[in-house]
Amino acid sequence: MIASALTTLDQYLNHLRQERRLSPHTHAAYSRDLLALTRYCDQYSKADWPALTAHDIRAFAAACHRQGLAGRSIQRRLSAVRGLYEFLLREGRIGHNPAQDIRAPKGERRLPGVLDVDQMERLLSIDTDQPLAVRDQALMELMYSSGLRLSELTGLDLPDLDLDAGLVSVTGKGSKTRVVPVGRKAAEALQAWLGIRAELLPPGSDQRALFIGRGGKRLAARSVQQRLDQWARRQGMEGRVHPHMLRHSFASHLLESSGDLRAVQELLGHADISTTQVYTHLDFQHLADVYDKAHPRAKRRK
């Protein structure tokens, strides 16, 4: 592509980072997806963004499909392309968005892994004889109690937590803030952690982060992943347990008990209820398993 097209791409990616405030992970994904389109344009001698038509974008999606890319990955690429052209529209550089009505083939939607209530109880019943164990119990209880994403958990500051009101203010995707309840067990674990948190702070330091490591710095996402994996193995749990599994378990257990999909959507911070609906499939799968095992006329699974 010509130099001006690549400059425009850089401007859009800079817009995503500075104005849209996308996370580094999401920003990197957008960069990869749009570079894939750039390579496609070079292959078919498309010099600049206004030269692409809806037919070209559809052909790009088809090429991705032939390469073996999954439906969800193609959807993500098309979303990145639509975003680029929306940016060009706002800048007055084009007259319409050629990617507007292009849709990827629907891929199979994988159900998220969850822990049942007994497994969650086992995971959360850890020995809290060390400061780091007290911290780990508090963060695990909070993730499960309030359905937090890993990035939301590690981004929490002390003022975000109001234990008197039983609430926590969370900054989620797209810098959107929501306030969610904190359960009794989580509040008790957090109170215990706040009582010893200062032991990990170097003298004279002023750290706002709710969860900190040995050096007094904000706890990194990777550290949470490692600690959760260690606790799961120590508690004798089978399979890999990852932080997002606690959020999935929160949603599944809440929906199973309440049946209120809209409330679960609000608590999870999902912009689209279709994202939350995956948990209805998960709950139905559980019911189907119970039916197959219990009903006299059902086909029993091996």
Residues with catalytic function: 149, 173, 244, 247, 270, 279
Name the strand (E) or helix (H) holding 162: strand 161-162
Two tokens at 30?
């957008």
Which of 186, 216, 182 is CA-nearest to residue 199? 216
Which of 189, 213, 188, 187 is CA-nearest to residue 199? 213
Residues 180/153, Cβ–Cβ less than 8 Å: no
Three-class secondary structure of residue 103 per DSSP:
coil
Please give the Cα distance from 197 to 200 (Å, whole number).
6
21 to 18, 131, 172, 175: CA distances (angstroms):
5, 34, 11, 7
Give first-to-last CA distance, the chain, whole Å.
57
The CA dihedral of 60, 62, 63, 67, to the nearest 10 degrees, is 140
Amino acid code (one letter) for 76: R
